[in-house]
Structures are given as C-alpha cells and as structure tokens.
Structure 1
Amino acid sequence: MRRKPKFYTRLHNKQKPETPSRTVSTLRSRPTMAELSPLTRLFVKISDSLSEEDLRNLRAILAREGLGQGKVEQATPHEMFNMLEADNRIGKGNLGFLVQVLRSLKKGKLAEEAELVQQQERREEVEKVAAKYKASVEAAISKITQKVEALKSEITATAENCEQVEKEIQQHYKRLISKLQLEEQEMITRVQRVNRDREGELKDKMETELKKTKEAEISVQKMLDCKDDTEALVLRQDMEERFKKLSLQESDDRSGEGLTKVTFQPCSLSQVSGGSLSVFAGFSIDVQEPAVESLPCSVTVTTNKADLTGGDVAPQIEVTSPQGKTTLIQTTAHTGPPLAAGKGQTSRVRRVWGGEWRPQESGKHTLRVCMGGKKDLSSLTVDVGSNNPVLRFGQRGSQQGQFDGPRDVAVRGDRLYMYVADTWNQRVQVFDLSGKFCSSFSTTTNPGSLAVQTNGTIVVRSLKEVKTFSPSGKLVHKFPLGEYCTDPYGLAVQRDGRVVIADPDKHSIFLFEADGTLVKQVGGQGQGEGQFDKPRFVCVDKEDNIIVADKINHRVQVFDKNLNFKHKFGQKGRQPQNMIGPNGVSADSRGNIVLANIGEKSGDDVGGIKHSKKLQVFRPDGTWVSTISSDGDKLKRPHGVAVTEDGHVFVADTGHNCIRKYRYM
C-alpha cells in the first residue's frame, strides 16, 4: 500500500469526528492551524475555500492532466492533493502546477499565497544546502590549516635537526684532526729517535776505527825506526796482519751500505674517512584531481631533496582500500621542476614520478610510497568520492522533459543531441547534452528502443514495427516484425542501414536489411556460443560488430557484422567485475563497452550497488575496467544506455522516470 503523505494524514485526522470518550488532554494534543506547516495550512485553506463548482472544475482539470476521470470523479480535495503529490506534480518547493490550477479556478490570492509558500520552502532548502556546504568548506579550511601548521613544524624540526647534525660533524672532525696531529707528532718523534740512536752508534764505530788507524800508524813508525832485522821482521808480520784485517773490515763496511735508510709509507687518502652521512630521501604524494570511484586520476611522487635517488629504480605506490585490499601503482619518471641554486651552486632537478590510479570503490584509501625494499617512505589518505551523476533530469509526467517509463536513449555525437524513447507517452523526446529540451514527436505506439544514424535519421522499434523518422520527426518508412519476432525489444542500426533486433521471448538476435528483409537469425535458448537466455539490448561498435547483453546468462556476446560469433565475457557474481542481469549496452569509438546491470529484484524504493544495479565498463576484449555504483543517487531500473565522445554515458532509468548522465572515462 502506498504510504500517505504527512499533510494528507493531518487533514484526515482533523476531519475525524470527536467522540465523547476523548479526554481534554487528547483534544489539546491535536495541532492547531498555527502549529501546522505552511504547506499544510495552505492545503487546508484551499480545501475550505472550494465551492461545489470549484470542485467540479478542479476534477475536470486534473482529469485532462492525466490523473484519470475515474480517479478524481468522487475524490475529496484532500484525496486529489494526495494524488498530485504521488504523481510528483506538487510537493515541497514544487507548487508551480498548483499555482496554475488555482489561477484557472480564479483563486488569485490563494495562487499568490502558494507562490509565497513555494518561495519560502525553496529558500529554506537553499539555506539548508548553503549551511551544509559552509560546514564542508570550514572543515576543509580547518584541514588545510592543520596541514600548514604541520608543515611549519616539520620545517622547524628539520632546521633543528640539521643544526644539531652540523655541530656533531664539527665536533667529530675536531676530534679527528686532533688525533691526526697526535699521530703526526708520534711519527716524527720515532724518526728523530731512530736518527739519534743511529748517529751515536755510527760515532762509536768511527772512534773505534780511528783508534785502529792510529795503532797501525804507530806500528809502521816503529818498523821504520827499527834497526834490528829480527825485530823488523816481527813488526812487518804484525803490519801485514793489521792490513789484512783493515781490508776485510772495509769490505764488510761496503756490504752494509743502505742499512741506515728510513722510509715512510703513507696510507691512501681515500682510505681515510671521518664518518658517513645518511639522508633518508623524503617523498611526497599528490593526487592531481579529485579521486572518484571508477575514474582515472594522476598520482605523482616527488622527492623532497634533489638527486637523492639515482639510477633507474622507480618508486611504487601501494594503495589500501577501505576493505583492506591492496594494489600497486607502477610509476614512470617525469621531468621535475628545477630547484633554485644558491650562490656558487649549479641548478639541480627534483625527481618526479607519475602513475595512473583508478579507484574501484568509494571511501578512505591509504597511498604509501615503496622503493628499494623499503615501505611507507611517505603516505597519503585520500577520500574517494562516489561516481554520482553529473546530470539528472526528468520525472513522471507527460509534459515536456517529463517521462513515463523511458526505456532507451541514443546520442548523435556530431550534433550533440540525445534522444529518449518515452515509452508510455508514445513519443521520442530530443534534448541537448546538458538536458535542455529541444523537441519531441509522436511514435503513435509505445517506443521501446531507438538508434540515430549519422545523417540524423531516427530508427525506432515501436511495438512490433521498425519505424524510420526524419530528423524533424516525420515518419518516412516502416516495416513489420511480427512474421519473425514474438517480443522484439532492443534495436541497433549498422552504418549501411541494416537493423539488428533482440527478441528475449525467442532468445534470438535478428539481422534485417533496411527494407525489412530478413538476413539472418542467430540464437535459441541455452548457454553455448551463439545461444541466449532472454537477450534484451544490443548495440554496434564502430566496425559494426554486434554486441549483445545476454541477460539471464549474465554475460555479453560479441558477433561480427554478419552475426558470426567472435567471443564472450562475463559471469554471474557480486564482485565489481561480475554481472547480474546485463541490460542496456553501448560502445564508444575506442571500442570500450558500457553495460547497465538491472540487478536483483528489490523493493520499490530500493536500488543501487547493494542489489547489483550498476554500470560497468569493459575493454573491447572483455577486460573489466571499472564499475560505477552511483551510491549518492542509486539506480533503480536501468535500461538503455548511450555514450558520448567526451567520456560520458546517459542511462534511462524506468524506475525513477528520469535520465542520468555519468562520466565513465
């Protein structure tokens, strides 16, 4: 049962007759008019002011606007207000339709009061949003202030650290110089001692030799003075013996030349080291743009010193997700900005590396620098945002820009137009890529899928017919599908005009010529190659390959332009890369495939990634790239999708009767 809005409940309670059993306190607990919200008071005033004729006119207006004659014929004003709110015609801050109705009923003052209430509610909503963003800005400023203070503290700590190390270096080299000077003095003293000892030894030896020479001289003189032949003979023999000894002594003295040489072997200066200086190269990590789930962003690693990391080794970035899963980002060297050179110095370059990061979930991630076996050289916490729509427009209704069960979308890239199959309103609506309404045209029957050719021709599958419309919306050709298809659904058009149709009831894909002639049928229920289980949507890529969302098989199959099987990918599961009910499918000019999963069955107001209602991006070979969860604006029943050349995708959500636009590249 649909929940009744608050204003209806209050009005309903107000009209209940009082019973005698009610106490005074119970009566006092009922809200007075002053205690009701402005919107509720307005509804009460309108209800009280309507005459029987006003009620008849009101019922007629609402019946014309699509609420149905049967619904409004016996409805009270309160019930009609309830219908309008349920149909999203009126609500808080949205009273434009009510103002028009009141003016039609010639209730000018009430219309003016409704406009004032609308303005007040919108103003309150703006103030609420402004307060929210003010708090966010103040929180951001607080974080930046804290970071600046932390940097100031780091600058002070670095200066104090370097000053202390400088003192330690000076003290160390003073001790080293003192030690070297002492060693120098000791070496000189040793040399001087050797010199003194050797000098005394040589002087003693010299005196001995001089004494021997004197004795020989005396013996020679005695021999010359001797007159006795016998004594002279004895003296001569003594002299010969002395000369022989002197001759031997001279030979010994010559053989000892060089024994007094003193040498010094200095140590190599390269072997002398007063110590070593270790500097841990600090790194900083920076994410160049806001990190958003499923979208690529640039991450840089910069050294805080110049040329402290030589060689070809590049750092890696280890990323830890909110769930504790770790991945590695590889980096490559970039050219860093030059550091300012001091007086007498050469300009140096700071080392910079860069890599691409595509976070796969929202929430707080931790990035750490790893290099040379060392981890956590620097870290950064990044709060990754959900990939929410960059644009959302539409609501249930039949007016311009409103929808009733939109099933499919198509984009004409050269003209920047987007087309919506507005199924139950039996029309196609045309918008620019910013969501601004441009035009619409009738399809007579319910359109379920559409495609736009490069010449602007719009091809629509409407019930069991394929209809071709001119760019202005004029029907120019059609052909029936009933002979071959029992439940035609998705449609795609190749460059030569051939039409591809998916039939989930026949579990088949059909290829037709532009005039409706059947070219080929592929399929049958099953899980083999070229078999399907309720395929709904199809698309073609730039080579006219046919891509099929095989819904109940939870996979995608790819065929060439003539419906010959090429490859398949995907399987059922709850992991980001797995599929549950692939539905809408589109391919961009690079061959990337964007897929909408309709997910599991859930309550009317429940959607989102929890039930696998998500968008996925795959490379042409089926490699998973990313998943868009849209947690901030949950998908309910995503159907057809269409990509743009600037990396965005439009999604038709039949559950919310709206179109959403996401960035996927």
Structure 2
Amino acid sequence: VFMRPSAVVERSGVLTVADPGAQAVWILDQPNDSYQRVSQVGQLTLVSPVALAQGPGESVFVADTVLNQVFQLDRTGKLLRTISSQGLERPAALAWDDTAHRLFVLDSKKHRVTVFDGNGALLRHLGGSGGDNAQFNHPTHMALDAGTKAGNLLITDAMNFRIQSLSPEGKFLWQFGKNGNGTGDLASPKGVASDSAGHVYVVDALFDAVQIFDRQGQLLLAFGEHGTARGQFTLPRGIFIASDDKVYVADAYNQRVQVFLGAVASRPVTKESLK
C-alpha cells in the first residue's frame, strides 16, 4: 500500500501514516477492518505530507512541506481545520500537547518551532538558526517527551547532529549527540520519541537502525540494520511510541511500517550492528 511512509501515529487501533511518496495520508482502522487513502483536504490536494501528530479527541494533525500548511483531520480523514497563515516555510514535524492544548510546528527552513493554541492562533516562536543551546540547524523531527508530564519537546537538530530538549516556552533543558559513524554517534538522525520510562529513541537513516539512549546521551540499546527482512530498515524516517510502549517505525524505502515491542525487541549494541 505505502510508497514512501515518513511518519506514523497510532491510537485505539487506528494507524495513520503520512506518505509523501503517495501524496496521501493512509488511515488504517483496524477495529473496523477498513482503510482509506486521503489525498484531498478541503479544496487542496496533498503534495508532500511528511509529519503527523495526534490531536484532540480522535483527530490527527498533518503537515505538508510543499503546501506549507498544517491540516487537522478527523478519524475518517475529513478536514476540521487548516493552519497556514503564520509564515510557515517548511513544516517538517508536529507535536500536540493535549493538556495545555498547544500545537508545536517544527519549521525546518526557519530553524525554529512555531507554537499555536488549540484554535490555531499563533502564540510564539522557539529557537532560531545556530549551533548554541536552543538553536537549530535544519531540524527535522520532533516529539513530546513522554518521560515528563511538563510538555517538554524532543527535537532532532539534524545538521548539528544532536537531540535537544526544550521546555514549551523554549527554555533549553539538555542535549546529546555528535556526528560520527561509531556506536552511539548520530550520522543521519531522523525520527525521535521517548517511552514511558524516559528512554529516548532516535532513528538513524545512515545506520538503518534505531538507537536508544538515556537522557544523558548514554547509548543503551540499538536495533535494526540495512536490509529488507523483518527488523531491517532501508532509510527509515519517523518513529512513534504508543501509550503501551509499542514502537512504530516508518521504514520509508522498504515501503512499510514496522512495529516492535519497545526495548524488548532490541538487542545489545555492537559496532557490527551499526555498520
């Protein structure tokens, strides 16, 4: 079904997949044994839907990096709201804080996070271009930090080869990572997420693997290698960790989404496993 899945979210058995290769979003409703392909949102046709976030109720937010808009869809794919008038240039990642009713939009081209309220009104911008704390160089992915209840953000600061954590107000909290091709390095970091224990999962497209770190950046485990078999990846992109700690990985160039049982599916890290 998928052409080049880049992001995935799951809730109550409903799997939503952003697929820029198909210029569509797929909604797989497993409880009702149905699926649909969403390519029309209101009067617009999706061009490059790359990012997702679970929204309020059963809704989902979708970011299109060519249309430079964010769409809120209901469970059936019907358009509920469009967020487009705030100067977004490349909305590459999304996060929704259901407690504070805040939508965070990562703008890769502007090297910042734009924050909206639950009605789509602009609140503030976080970050900016650079290499200092709370600055970014082409950030690509983002998630809420499930290890805290404070609504903190995890952000893949791709060309600074690091993961940064910011408060919802933009205060720098911590970071880890460095460029390299060794165990625990970040060569081409993509999707980021955290589980209920606070472990940070980072997809690396160059390693074709997912690396699991503690919050100090110490590598704990890794899983995956290049290939097409189960548990192998080819240029993986997004990652999502559900409330039951199941791990969903958008295995983009194998045209599939793989599901793992959290750290149980991982194996001890060796240098060979990341080559």
| TM-score (norm. length: structure 2) | 0.81
User: What corresponds to 2:175 in structure 1?
Assistant: 568
- The question of whether the paired residues in 2 share the 8 Å contact of 1:479 and 1:515 is answered with no
Q: Deviations over 1:420-443 (max 9, x none)?
A: 012243332123679x75344334
Separation of aligned partners in 1, 2:103 and 2:243: 23
Q: Is 489-498 or 529-538 further displaced after alignment?
A: 489-498
Letter in 2 for 1:652: A
User: What corresponds to 1:410 in structure 2?
Assistant: 9
Q: Deviations over 1:194-213 (max 9, x none)?
A: xxxxxxxxxxxxxxxxxxxx
SS of residue paired to 1:561? coil
Displacement of 1:619: 2.6
Letter in 2 for 1:406: P
Identify the match of residue 20 of structure 2 among 423, 430, 439: 423
Displacement of 1:545: 0.7
Larger helix share, 1 or 2: 1
Residues 480 and 492 of structure 1, relative CA distance in 2, 3 Å threshold: same
User: What corresponds to 2:46 in structure 1?
Assistant: 445
User: What corresponds to 2:268 in structure 1?
Assistant: none
Separation of aligned partners in 2, 1:552 and 1:455: 35
Residues 620 and 430 of structure 1, relative CA distance in 2, 3 Å threshold: farther
1:625 aligns with 2:220: yes
Displacement of 1:547: 0.7
Residues 588 and 452 of structure 1, relative CA distance in 2, 3 Å threshold: same
- The question of whether the paired residues in 1 share the 8 Å contact of 2:27 and 2:76 is answered with no
Separation of aligned partners in 2, 1:432 and 1:574: 39
- The question of whether the paired residues in 1 share the 8 Å contact of 2:104 and 2:114 is answered with yes
User: What corresponds to 1:550 in structure 2?
Assistant: 157
1:652 aligns with 2:255: no
Residues 423 and 467 of structure 1, relative CA distance in 2, 3 Å threshold: same
Letter in 2 for 1:427: A
- The question of whether the paired residues in 1 share the 8 Å contact of 2:127 and 2:170 is answered with no
Larger strand share, 1 or 2: 2
Identify the match of residue 455 of structure 1 among 57, 66, 81: 57
Q: Deviations over 1:3-22 (max 9, x none)?
A: xxxxxxxxxxxxxxxxxxxx
User: Structure 2 matches for 1:175-186, cutoff 5 A?
Assistant: none
- Greater RCO, CA 8 A, separation 6+: 2
Separation of aligned partners in 2, 1:547 and 1:521: 16
User: What corresponds to 2:105 in structure 1?
Assistant: 501
SS of residue paired to 1:489? strand
User: What corresponds to 1:385 in structure 2?
Assistant: none
Displacement of 1:521: 1.6
Identify the match of residue 488 of structure 1 among 67, 91, 98: 91
- The question of whether the paired residues in 1 share the 8 Å contact of 2:187 and 2:204 is answered with yes
Displacement of 1:589: 2.6
Letter in 2 for 1:487: R
SS of residue paired to 1:490? strand
User: What corresponds to 1:515 in structure 2?
Assistant: 119
1:584 aligns with 2:191: yes
Letter in 2 for 1:430: I
1:526 aligns with 2:125: no
Residues 433 and 649 of structure 1, relative CA distance in 2, 3 Å threshold: farther
Letter in 1 for 2:196: S
User: What corresponds to 2:80 in structure 1?
Assistant: 476
Separation of aligned partners in 1, 2:226 and 2:243: 25
Letter in 2 for 1:639: R
Identify the match of residue 71 of structure 2 among 440, 447, 467: 467
- The question of whether the paired residues in 2 share the 8 Å contact of 1:520 and 1:563 is answered with no
Separation of aligned partners in 1, 2:216 and 2:168: 16
- The question of whether the paired residues in 1 share the 8 Å contact of 2:138 and 2:158 is answered with yes
Percent of aligned pairs with the same amino acid: 26
Separation of aligned partners in 1, 2:245 and 2:184: 20
User: What corresponds to 1:662 in structure 2?
Assistant: 260
RMSD over equivalenced CA pairs, Å: 2.3
User: Structure 2 matches for 1:80-479, cutoff 5 A?
Assistant: 402-412=1-11, 415-431=12-28, 438-442=35-39, 443=41, 444-446=45-47, 447-453=49-55, 455-462=57-64, 463-479=67-83
Letter in 2 for 1:509: V
Separation of aligned partners in 1, 2:226 and 2:119: 44
Displacement of 1:631: 5.2
User: What corresponds to 1:316 in structure 2?
Assistant: none
Letter in 1 for 2:46: T
Residues 406 and 631 of structure 1, relative CA distance in 2, 3 Å threshold: closer
| TM-score (norm. length: structure 1) | 0.35
Displacement of 1:573: 2.0
Separation of aligned partners in 2, 1:572 and 1:498: 32
SS of residue paired to 2:238? strand
- The question of whether the paired residues in 1 share the 8 Å contact of 2:126 and 2:169 is answered with no
Instruction: Extract unaligned runs of 5+ from structure 2.
Output: 264-275
Separation of aligned partners in 2, 1:638 and 1:433: 23
Residues 659 and 467 of structure 1, relative CA distance in 2, 3 Å threshold: same
Instruction: Extract unaligned runs of 5+ from structure 1.
Output: 1-401, 600-611
- The question of whether the paired residues in 1 share the 8 Å contact of 2:226 and 2:234 is answered with no
Separation of aligned partners in 2, 1:476 and 1:526: 36
- Greater gyration radius: 1
SS of residue paired to 2:160? coil
SS of residue paired to 1:639? coil
Separation of aligned partners in 2, 1:433 and 1:618: 32
SS of residue paired to 1:425? coil
Residues 426 and 631 of structure 1, relative CA distance in 2, 3 Å threshold: closer
SS of residue paired to 1:538? strand
Separation of aligned partners in 1, 2:88 and 2:18: 20
Separation of aligned partners in 2, 1:459 and 1:546: 17
- The question of whether the paired residues in 1 share the 8 Å contact of 2:201 and 2:213 is answered with yes
Equivalent residue pairs, number? 248
SS of residue paired to 1:655? helix
Separation of aligned partners in 1, 2:233 and 2:218: 24
Letter in 2 for 1:460: V
Letter in 1 for 2:165: V
Q: Deviations over 1:609-632 (max 9, x none)?
A: xxx221111234433221113356
Separation of aligned partners in 1, 2:191 and 2:108: 13
Q: Deviations over 1:268-295 (max 9, x none)?
A: xxxxxxxxxxxxxxxxxxxxxxxxxxxx
